[in-house]
A = this chain, B = another copy of it.
């Protein structure tokens, strides 16, 4: 537990940053990391092979497919998902350890994963990073990818589905074009405000 200005102990906050695919979650996390807002980022476990220069426990926890599946079977992930043929997920033990040490933990999770975290964690703080509009999101996707019309349609359908999750969140931060700094300012303000609560939300992993 970190000491508070008033001398009391404050338990760690669990902040979940989520939002539709393509909205800019990675860029927001990178900008937050550059600012050093005093949160910890839980190292994710993956079955993806280690690349040169990557350190186990720093960049990822590298597991074999068998190890990862055994952990899934034991419900040892807050949530997990497939990305490009590999499994990824934050181990509960890692997140719980950081929280118990009093660190505020920020997790970047897709919308589906956030719904799962919501079931497993009491009193986490959910921030929805939103595009200015669905049209804008689709446009960004089209700029980023060279995809068939069918693939684009699937992505649009997904975007609507993901936007529909908004009512489950605590905060909405709009990532306007070319104004990532404003979005990151707002995320930082949310973290600051949550730290100032007389009754801070104490994340409990069930």
Contact = CB atoms under 8 A, between A and B. Distances in A.
A34 to B, nearest CB: 19
Contact of A5 (B5, B166, B176, B188): B176
Contacts of A194: 193
Interface in A183-202: 185-186, 188-190, 192-194, 196-198
A172 B130 contact: no
A166 to B, nearest CB: 6
B198 A166 contact: yes
Contact of A174 (B5, B130, B171, B192): B5
A171 B193 CA distance: 8
B167 A196 contact: no
Given A5-B132, A176-B5, A170 B190 contact: no
A10 to B, nearest CB: 11
A174 B6 contact: yes
A23 to B, nearest CB: 13
A171 B128 CA distance: 22
A124 interface: no
Nearest to A174: B5
A166 B197 CA distance: 11
Contact of A196 (B171, B176, B196): B171
Contacts of A174: 5-6
A130 B173 contact: no
Interface in A1-60: 5-6
Nearest to A126: B198
Contact of A198 (B132, B172, B188, B196): B172
Given A169-B198, A172-B197, A193-B193, 5 more contacts: A5-B176, A128-B198, A189-B192, A190-B196, A192-B193
Query: Shortest 3 CB-CB distances between A and B: which pairs?
Result: A193-B193, A189-B192, A189-B189
